[in-house]
Structure 1
Amino acid sequence: MALTTASFMVDGMTCDGCVSAVKRALAAIDGVENTDVNLAVNEVKVTYDPARAGISSLRNAIRGAGYEVG
């Protein structure tokens, strides 16, 4: 299994609750191995298996949690 890491700029995160919401949304996707959310710079790094998850599903999960993806 070859993992890939993708980075996203996420607008609208303002607190630890926002960080938790984004992490939960991404963790629910099959193939996501790890998420690293940096609230200070509004960046999310996701390590995932591209055979099981795609960029569009990651973006949609973040949007579904209520945040804009740059």
Structure 2
Amino acid sequence: MATASFIVEGMSCDGCVSAIKRALAAVDGVQETDVNLANGEVKIEYDPQRAGQSSLQNAIRGAGYDVS
């Protein structure tokens, strides 16, 4: 397993957190997602054989948020 951490811009409520968790759950290989609304950080545990950081970032962007 690998861990990735991203700063996500544009989150403002629990609905945002849910949207990001749903988007990441749809990525093959994602095992666990922790979204911290207060500091805008998303931590993801994933299988690097099945998912890459770019696919994780694309899922977050696809949910309508900016990733840095």
* TM-score interval, normalised by the smaller of the two chains: over 0.9
Q: Give, in whole Å, the separation in 2 of the partners of 1:67 and 1:53.
A: 19
Identity in percent: 74
* 1:10-49 alpha-carbon deviations (Å, 9 max, x no partner): 0000000000000000000010000000000000000000
Two-structure CA RMSD over aligned residues (Å): 0.2
Q: Which runs of 4+ in 1 moved over 4 A?
A: none
Aligned residues: 68
Q: Could you say which residue in structure 2 is the equivalent of 1:56?
A: 54
- Counterpart among 42, 45, 59 of residue 44 in structure 1: 42
Q: Give, in whole Å, the separation in 1 of the partners of 2:39 and 2:64.
A: 18
Q: Which runs of 5+ in 1 are unaligned?
A: none
1:1-70 to structure 2, matched below 5 A, reads 3-70=1-68
Q: Give, in whole Å, the separation in 2 of the partners of 1:25 and 1:7.
A: 15
Partner of 2:35, secondary structure, is strand
User: TM-score, normalization: structure 1?
Assistant: 0.97
